[in-house]
Structure 1
Amino acid sequence: MSQISHDKVEVVIIGSGIAGSTMAAELGEAAFNVLVLEAGPERKLSDMISSQIWSRRLRWAGPEVLETGDLVGAANFAMGWGTGGAGLHWYANWYRLHPDDFRVRSLFGRSLDWPIGYDDLRPWYDHAQSYFGVSGNDDSNAPSGEAYPMPATSMSKQSSAIKPGFDAEGLELTTNTLAINSAPYAGRAGCLLDGWCDAGCPIGALTNPLVLQWPRARKAGVELRHNAYVARIETDPSGSKATGVLYLDEQGRENLQPADIVISACHTIWNARLLLLSTSDKHPDGLGNGSKTLGRYFTSHALTTIHGLFSQETEPHLGVSGANTLCLDGYEDKQPAKGAFGSRAWLVGQAAKPNDLLGTALAKPELYGEALDDYLRNASRHYGNMTVLCEEDSIPENRITLDPSKRDRYGLPQAHVINSLPHANATRSKLAKEEGLRIFKAAGTTDAWAGPRNPMHMMGGTIMGDDASASVTNSFGQVHEVDNLFVAGASLFPTPGAVNPTATLAALVFRTADYIRTHRSEWLP
């Protein structure tokens, strides 16, 4: 089968999720000729149906990611598939990393440092929250920044039931910060608080690429090509310049897409996989792997859920999937006890439907028959829940590799994630679980229990750094060895903190887009 060659574009972006679509809109509006390649199918707002079963269609449907270690299981659940990527089923929790999160090595002798600090990102955090539309109130435990453009949503019955437990522990529970409209904003409707964020948001109250970035990008002339599975990034004979990408279309045909600038804006695992697949004589171990750090320093968040039944009615099916309230009180204390390390954050009062993976039924998977029926009748009105995120150290042993024994439909090695939680982080997670159970018992639950520890979010693998011998990219996501090749997304994070990564991901995208804009003459003829 002959290879199909396409006309050269100025910028080709791989991935149409939050990172890719934001970059596309920014560069398109800066008059770059931009093409975005998306491996999955086209998605429309009409595909957003309020059903947790239906929402599975929005999740990863590409090659399975293999996982080993004691903190695995999120990869195939968390990634997206089609227009907007995981941005169609994300929960819109919007938090900034704290200043100490950027200097963990310098301050604590563990993990890594970022090549930039909080002050470098602060203006881009401020810009991002206005661009996306964020609702929230001032929180004395959050990093400094401009006021949010919308007030927070009101405290739910579920959070009101849980709050006395935080009061008893001397902890401050605040309203959550969300990229969800608490009122009409930028032409988009306010949230209905019907608890279906997990299935997407057809009214656009939850900011997603279909209602924010893609209308802007298309207006700017950006082209989006679906069912385009990128197999490798091509380089010139010297290996110092990316010349374009090779992708496979729906019929399995090879397509060569030349470009002046290449930006890999895939999910964390796929960014690393694509660079590892892009071998050549000059890059035998993958693009950007001269430091031997490509794929290494993978991190996630150690998640533990706390569940309980309350005497008062909590309306658990209403609200937002992310969390109604938040506790960052104590986040700064990364060494809470001997042998424990890492920040932690409580996300409180997530909307929960009765069924499916995140529903109240599976909060007690051991029940069946009449006992399950009795529990669900009670839980549907009296259930409460919260989630703690704990920091994971960045260590080289946790990594993304290729497994040549397992191949995708095109014969390419599948990605393999190895992730085990360092002992000090596991101890921190255990302390958080104990804290959560105390909170629920102090809140007066008739029954309180904890779920198993699981991973949430995925970061690292193409980490940024000043030292080309110890990192893959510089602070702008520019690959050290190939200066017209950029990476965008959470794979750049040297450390994960203990908060959801999207606000930081977005701030980095805006910062990199500005860098490309102001240096365009270096790459364009």
Structure 2
Amino acid sequence: MKKISHELVDVVIAGSGIAGSTMAAELGEAGFNVLVLEAGPERKLSDMISSQIWSRRLRWAGPEVRETGDLVGAANFAMGWGTGGAGLHWYANWYRLHPDDFHVQSLYGRSLDWPISYEDLRPWYDHAQTYFGVSGDADPHAPAGAPYPMPAIPISRQSSAIKKGFETEGLKLTSNTLAINSTPFDGRPGCLLDGWCDSGCPIGALANPLVLQWPRAKKAGVELRHNAYVARIETDPSGSLATGVTYLDELGQENFQPSKVVISACHTIWNARLLLLSSNDKHPDGLGNGSGTLGQYFTSHALTTIHGLFPQETEPHLGVSGANTLCLEGYENKQPEDGAFGSRAWLVGQAAKPNDLLGTALAKPELFGDALETYMQKASAHYGNMTVLCEEDSIPENHIALDPSRRDRFGLPQALVTNSLPQANAARTTLAKAEGLRIFKAAGTSEAWAGARSPMHMLGGTIMGDDPSASVTNSFGQVHEVDNLFVAGASLFPTPGAINPTATLAALVFRTADYIRTNKSSLLR
């Protein structure tokens, strides 16, 4: 079939998740003619159903991602599919990277440095927390910034049960910071604390693209086109200018969407995959891969869960999916013992339903029959949990590549992710697990255990940097070799820190949108 060509737009954005929708709203309001292409189906707020089974529908339903290494399994759980992307099932944990997270190479001789500092991003962090609506209290162990626009959500019975253990270890729990309304805010209601964030928030208390960015974007005239699978970014004969994107519609028909500016705002793996798929004569190893770093320096967070049964009732099904409380005390101690490296953060008191991946039943996957029933009778009222995130070094060996032996339904190579945890980071997770079990024992649990180490979040692969020979983009996500091509999302992160990435992702999006606004005349020439 002949490729269909569409009318020229100012900006085309691949992906409608938090990065893509925020960028679309910002640029639409700045007067750009913006089109967003989303590979998945249309989602509406009325579609959100408080059900563990329903939550699976919001997860990735595109081509399989193959993972290899000793820290794998995050892809299908973390990515989204349809309007809003992963922004419909994210947990709204809202944290800033700490100042030393931007300078790990310079300070410790490991990993990489960012091309910007915390102070460069601080005003954008402040802006982002007001835009999204963040609840929380001042935390002496968090980086400096403006006060949160809303007070923290109440401490839960589950957190109250766990708190004693932290105090015994000489640590302090603080209220969690969340992009969830603790009170009515910006025309959206306060949270019911019913623990269903994981399956989408139908009332809009949790900041997601359906209630936050897309109303603004559509009011500004932004167009959103669903079932539009972006297959490659096209360039002019010189290879120095993006001319638009080729996408495939529901019927497999090729479409060419010309644009003056192209922004890849997919999830981490898909940003790298799209640039790799866009190779041509001028960019034989992938678009923007003159440095050879495209796909490299993939990172995640090494996660360990701690579970326990408490003598008091904990109401584990109530609260928020992310965490009720937080411990950042000791985060800056990246070298806790010889042979161990990396920051760590405790996310405490996650709401847990009886079933499904994060439920109380699968906290004990080895049980069945009468033993499972006995456990569930106790756990449904007395269960508690927390999660520790540990830092992973950025190394070139952990990477995203194309797998020519496995292809999607359109015949395009699928993504292959390699991720193994460096030994010093693995040693850090061992220390954290022991700390967590001590905390739960001190809190009075009748039984405490740890889950297997696993990955959480996906970052890197299109890293930013000042040096075009060692990075894919500059600090604004602008691809070094293609002036009108930008990348948005966590794939830009040179290092991951040990906290959830969305606040930093959002701050970077606002900073890049401001850069594009400021350079509008030259970019739209």
Using the size of structure 2 for normalisation, the TM-score is 1.00
Paired amino acid for 1:452:
A
Instruction: State the match for 1:415 in structure 2.
Output: 415
Instruction: Give the alignment of 1:98-497 within 5 angstroms.
Output: 98-497=98-497
CA distance in 2, matches of 1:67, 1:122: 35
| TM-fit CA distance, 1:77 | 1.2
Q: Determine if contact 2:35/2:224 at 8 Å carries over to the other structure.
A: yes
- Amino acid corresponding to residue 257 of structure 1 in structure 2: Q
Report 1:509-524 matches (<5 A).
Answer: 509-524=509-524
Residue 523 (structure 1) shift? 1.6
- 1:316 deviates by 0.1
SS at match of 1:49: coil
Q: Secondary structure, in 3 states, of the residue corresponding to 2:35?
A: strand
Question: Is residue 49 of structure 2 the alignment partner of residue 52 of structure 1?
Answer: no
Render the CA deviation track for 1:383-430: whole Å, top value 9, x for unaligned. Answer: 000000000000000000000000000000000000000000000000
Unaligned regions of 5+ residues in structure 1, if any?
Answer: none
State how far apart, in whole Å, the 2-side matches of 1:281 and 1:199 are. Answer: 44
Q: Is the 8 A contact 2:347 2:388 kept in 1?
A: yes
Structure 1 residue 84 displacement after superposition: 0.0
Taking structure 1 as the reference length, the TM-score comes to: 1.00
**Code of the aligned partner of 2:491:** S
SS of 2:36's partner is strand
| Letter in structure 1 aligned against 2:220 | A
Distance 1:103 1:47 in 2: 43
Q: Secondary structure at the match of 1:210?
A: coil
Tell me by how many angstroms 1:20 deviates. 0.1
Output the CA distance in 2 between the equivalents of 1:395 and 1:288: 19
Find the residue that maps to 1:437 and give its secondary structure.
Answer: helix
| Deviation by residue 1:149-170 (Cα, 9 ceiling, x = unmatched) | 0000111000000000000000
* Distance in 2 of aligned mates of 1:280 and 1:491: 22
Stretches (4+) displaced over 6 A? none
Give 2:30's aligned residue.
30
Identity %: 84
Q: Distance in 2 between matches of 1:142 and 1:58?
A: 31
Query: Take 2:186 and 2:377, find their aligned partners in 1: how far apart are those partners?
Result: 40
Q: Partner letter of residue 245 of structure 1? A: V
- SS for the counterpart of 1:517 is helix
* Alpha-carbon distance in structure 1 between the residues aligned to 2:373 and 2:523: 63
Contact 2:516–2:523 (Cα < 8 Å) also in 1: no
Indicate the SS of the match to 1:400.
strand
RMSD between superposed Cα atoms in Å: 0.3
Q: What displacement does 1:474 show?
A: 0.1
Query: Secondary structure of the residue that 1:246 maps to in structure 2?
Result: strand
Summarize the alignment of residues 85-100 of structure 1 with structure 2, pairs less than 5 Å apart. Answer: 85-100=85-100
Question: How far apart, CA to CA, are the structure 2 residues paired with 1:15 and 1:348?
Answer: 31
Secondary structure, counterpart of 1:465 in structure 2? coil
Q: CA deviation digits over 1:245-288, x for unaligned, max 9?
A: 00000000000000000000000000000000001100000001
Looking at structure 2, the residues matched to 107 and 54 of structure 1 have their Cα atoms a distance apart, in angstroms, of 45
| Count of matched residue positions in the alignment of Structure 1 and Structure 2 | 525
Does 1:499 pair with 2:507?
no
Q: Secondary structure at the match of 2:430?
A: helix
Deviations 1:77-116 (A, max 9, x none): 1100000000000000000000000000000000000000
Instruction: Measure the CA separation in 1 of the matches of 2:281 and 2:127.
Output: 42
1:317: Cα distance to partner? 0.1
Q: What SS does the aligned partner of 1:106 have?
A: helix
Query: How far apart, in 1, do the equivalents of 2:523 and 2:344 lie?
Result: 42
**What do the CA deviations read for 1:129-157 (whole angstroms, capped 9, x no partner)?**
00000000000000000000000011100
Q: Report the residue type matching 2:157 in the other structure.
A: K
Shift of 1:172: 1.0
User: How far has the Cα of 1:47 moved from its partner?
Assistant: 1.3
Is 2:77 aligned against 1:77? yes
